[in-house]
Each structure stands twice: as C-alpha cells, then as structure tokens.
A and B are shown apart, each in its own frame.
Chain A
C-alpha cells in the first residue's frame, strides 16, 4: 500500500527538484534587543535539493539561523536570500516545512487533522486534503488507524512522525529541521534518520538539519556546516562522501568513523 503511494509521488519528483529552494546566507548577523549577539556574520550557501546539516554546540545560534532562513525573523545585518528574495518575503511564496525540537502538535486535533493544518490556511480544496494527508501519513510510515488518534494516544516517536508529516504535507521546497530527534532514544533516532533519508531521496526538498549529534549529521547529510559557539558563525564546511541510499550498517564502517572524527575535530577547534 505504502509503495503504491510513494511511486505516485515519484511522478512529481522532477518538478519538485526544479522548484527546490536555493538558500544564500551572506554575512548574516543577529543581535537581539537585549544586546546579545546570537549569530555573527555567518555566510554559506545551500544548493537546490541539497541536504546540509548545521552542527554546533548548544546555544550557538543554530536555531536562530534556522528561524532566519524560514523568514520568521529578519537578520539585523547581512542578507538571507531564498531564490534571490529576502527570506522574510520568500516565506510568502516558497513552500517551507519546519520541524521543531518537540513535536508541537495541537492536542485537541487528531493526527490527521494536525497534519493537514498547514493546508487549511491557504484554503486548499477538500480534494487536495484528501490526497495530501494520506500521502504524508504514508511517507512517515503511519497507518490510517494512527491518523484518527489524538497526540496523547501516540508514542513519542509517532508524535515526531506526525510532526514530520505536518512539515511534508505542503510538499515543501525547503525543509528545515531543528534538532527534531534530540529527545528520542537512540534506536528510534536512527530509525527516523533512515526514514528521513528515504523521504529526502523521494521528495528532494532543500533540507537544512540542525543537530549537535555529529553521527546523525554525517549519516544524513551531503555536507556539514560547523557552527562556532555563540555568537555563531560558520567555521567549516565538511563534505560527506557517502552515496545514497545510506544503509544503517554505514555507521559501523571505518570511513564513517573517519568522517565523524573530522567533524568532531573541527567542532573542538572552534570551541577552543
């Protein structure tokens, strides 16, 4: 059943790839009204359809960077561009999916009604909802029975799947994830990592993943941006040499260990 839905999504893959967002962060700084500098002239680019992780110590401004990319806050200096448009404006035209550290579901809505929430704002037709919501459910591996449940009836991992489905339901060009699996146990985290890779290969949104877990970043992404302790700036861009699809046993290889070692070294250098 799931395979059928996925192959249907594959038909639209070419068009999503073309429309995937290009992100350019040019000397971006963020100084909060309190005077605290969260981000200090960070510069990087993310190509359309690329999967990039931002790795850095807690409180280094990764989440602030992500909120600027989403256009939720404007940088105090520098340019944050999505497809050559300032992110704050691009937010209106781009389809952006955002996954928070916590699932952040609305407890009074069922899983399915949580997932369809983003479609309700642009007045999507009933028919669109009827297609998109089951697609998103299948994409994150939830059944129709799970869809009818309210968040309190779901496990922590399933709630995160619902949260992921809510971000995917608009078929986003840009997928932003802010340490989404940080609160989950390691087995569940690895399982969801594998699913995220599968979803990304299937949909190819431009994906920016924030984490402080180096192994997770290496397993998931094509490239890792190492962020310095606060105020955050980009200290290094480390390419990840593995092909997709990535199998869980990749984590046990020497090459994987070398790559995580390199990123960890860079992280240590920045915090000295």
Chain B
C-alpha cells in the first residue's frame, strides 16, 4: 500500500515541480525584462485576470464543456452506428470508406461557412463542428473492432445457428467495445478542440451564451492578453478533464473485457 503511494508521488511530483519552476522563470522574465503585458503577461497577471473575470470564464467554460460533451456523445453514438453498418459487408466498407476519410481530412474552416448557411451560428453549429471533428476515430476503431472477430467464435456462433442479429449483439458489438473505447478516448480530445474551433468560426450568436473559443477571440481582438492566457489555460484544463473522465470510464468498462489470457 505504502509502496504504491510512493510510486504515485514519484510520478506526480516531477511534473508539478517543473510547472512551478516554469511559473517562477516566467514571472521573473516578465518583471525583470519589462515585457509589455499585452505581449506576454506574467503568471500573476494571468491569475489576476482569472479572478477578475471569474463569472465570465466559468460561464464560457461551462458552455464549451456542454458543446464538447454533446459533440463527443454524438460521435460515439453515430460513429458506432456507422461502424455497425460498415461491419455488415466489405462492399459497404469499400464504397463508403473514402467518404469517411473526408471527415478526417476536410479543413473544418472550409466547411464552416456551409454550416453557418445551413444551421446558422450558435451552440447547435458548434456541436456540429465538434461532432464532425471527433467522429472519424470512432468509426475507424469501431469498424476495426467489429470486423476483427476471433474466427473460432464466428464458427461457434455459426455452428449453433446464431442469426446475423444475434451475432452482432452477442458477439461483434461486445467484442468491439475495447476498440470503441479507444476511439472514444481519441474522440474526447478532438471534441474539445472541435468545440473551441467551432466557437471561433460558427459560435457567436448574440442571443446566446458564448464559450471559451469566442472568449479567446474576443480577448485577442481587444489585446487582453492576460485574459487570453486564462482562457487558453481553462481550455487545456477542460480538455484534460474530459480526456481523463472518458479514459476513467473506459478503463472501468474494460475491466470486464480482460479475459486474463494476455
């Protein structure tokens, strides 16, 4: 017990120490060399900006978190559904896969005007961007998991006359859960990035609350660099929290998938 706590401390301590060191060097650099605050605010300035705008930042973080969670859940559900369809035939896979890659390669900035045209600006469009950006890993990992089934188990299901539906529900989908979880973990990070990017391009709607992406843009336009830093910091933390939460849920689910042979 003590041993595991010691290794835990040994793992957590170095990055925290490095973080504190960077803060000190950063603070010293900005105050000693007299760098203008709009170019590079010191940690103290950033902290002050965070405190001064706490309500606004909290609201923006909440809006961004909501957008990211909606985009993420949409990609997990839609992505799994698409993967199930892809898994049903090699012909479907061959026909549709090039278009799935489109999602991965299209610059979202290029599609943003279309999204604004069809869905307007605001929260819904932000979720659409987040969804498009995070969908691909769920589809690819899910398809791989649904199709790479142990041939012995396929034989077993066939031997006992399992229907296509029974094979999907009792074998393919459960076997694919580890791959879907892996895809979801990647998607969770992308969903947060997608939401913030979305807020940049399609997010502003004066009648709605705005998220961190819009706040970053606003702070940048007004040269409120300390606030900009604060918003960037919160975006990073949000990404980290979402990623860790999804990872934790995934690990809990996967505990049941460990058959002890590996």
**Do A and B bind?**
yes
Q: Using an 8 Å CB-CB cutoff, how does the interface string of B154-189 with A read, 1 for contact, 0 for none?
A: 011111111100100011001101000000000000
For the side of the interface on A, what is the size category?
20 to 34
Q: Does B221 contact A (CB under 8 A)?
A: no
Which of A92, A100, A153 has the largest number of chain B CB atoms within 10 A? A100
Residues facing A in B223-262 (CB within 8 A) are 256-261
A107 and B259 form a contact (CB under 8 A) = yes
Q: Does B6 contact A (CB under 8 A)?
A: no
Q: Tell me which of A98, A108, A118, A154 contacts B155 (CB under 8 A).
A: A98
If A121-B163, A152-B258 touch, whether A104 touches B171 (CB-CB below 8 Å) is no
Q: Tell me which of B160, B174, B260 contacts A118 (CB under 8 A).
A: B160
Residues facing A in B89-135 (CB within 8 A) are none
Q: In the complex, what distance in Å separates the CA atom of A118 from the CA atom of B261?
A: 23
Nearest residue in A to B166 (C-beta to C-beta)? A121
Q: In the complex, what distance in Å separates the CA atom of A122 from the CA atom of B156?
A: 14
B161 and A107 form a contact (CB under 8 A) = no
Q: Does A148 contact B (CB under 8 A)?
A: no
If A151-B259, A153-B260 touch, whether A106 touches B160 (CB-CB below 8 Å) is no
B166 and A120 form a contact (CB under 8 A) = yes
Q: Using an 8 Å CB-CB cutoff, how does the interface string of B201-227 with A read, 1 for contact, 0 for none?
A: 000000000000000000000000000
Q: In the complex, what distance in Å separates the CA atom of A106 from the CA atom of B157?
A: 12
Q: Does A5 contact B (CB under 8 A)?
A: no
The smallest C-beta distance from A155 to any residue of chain B, in angstroms, reads 9
A104 and B150 form a contact (CB under 8 A) = yes
CB contacts (< 8 Å) of A92 on chain B: these are 161
CB contacts (< 8 Å) of A120 on chain B: these are 166, 170
Q: Tell me which of A108, A121, A151, A154 contacts B161 (CB under 8 A).
A: A121
CB contacts (< 8 Å) of A83 on chain B: these are none
CB contacts (< 8 Å) of B152 on chain A: these are 100, 102, 104
Q: In the complex, what distance in Å separates the CA atom of A120 from the CA atom of B169?
A: 12
Residues facing B in A130-174 (CB within 8 A) are 150-154, 170
Q: Tell me which of A105, A108, A118, A154 contacts B256 (CB under 8 A).
A: A108
Q: How many residues of B contact A (CB 8 A)?
A: 24
Q: Does B153 contact A (CB under 8 A)?
A: yes
Interface secondary structure of B, over-half rule? helix
Q: Does A212 contact B (CB under 8 A)?
A: no
Q: Tell me which of A71, A91, A100, A152 contacts B260 (CB under 8 A).
A: A152
Which of A72, A91, A100, A107 has the largest number of chain B CB atoms within 10 A? A107
The smallest C-beta distance from B6 to any residue of chain A, in angstroms, reads 28
CB contacts (< 8 Å) of A107 on chain B: these are 256-260
If A104-B152, A151-B259, A152-B260 touch, whether A98 touches B159 (CB-CB below 8 Å) is yes
Q: In the complex, what distance in Å separates the CA atom of A154 from the CA atom of B257?
A: 14
A170 and B260 form a contact (CB under 8 A) = no
CB contacts (< 8 Å) of A108 on chain B: these are 174, 177, 256-257
CB contacts (< 8 Å) of A67 on chain B: these are 155
CB contacts (< 8 Å) of B153 on chain A: these are 104, 106
Which of B157, B161, B162, B259 has the largest number of chain A CB atoms within 10 A? B259
The smallest C-beta distance from A180 to any residue of chain B, in angstroms, reads 12
Nearest residue in A to B157 (C-beta to C-beta)? A121
The smallest C-beta distance from B55 to any residue of chain A, in angstroms, reads 46
CB contacts (< 8 Å) of A118 on chain B: these are 156, 160
The smallest C-beta distance from B168 to any residue of chain A, in angstroms, reads 13
25 A/B residue pairs, CB under 8 Å, sorted by A: A70-B159, A92-B161, A98-B156, A100-B152, A100-B156, A104-B152, A104-B153, A105-B259, A106-B170, A106-B171, A106-B175, A107-B259, A108-B174, A108-B256, A118-B160, A120-B166, A120-B170, A121-B161, A122-B161, A150-B259, A152-B258, A152-B259, A152-B261, A154-B260, A170-B160
Interface contacts beyond A100-B156, A107-B256: sample of 19 additional A-B pairs, CB < 8 Å, sorted by A: A70-B155, A70-B159, A72-B155, A72-B158, A98-B159, A102-B152, A102-B261, A104-B153, A106-B175, A107-B258, A107-B259, A108-B256, A117-B160, A117-B170, A118-B156, A121-B161, A121-B166, A122-B161, A151-B259
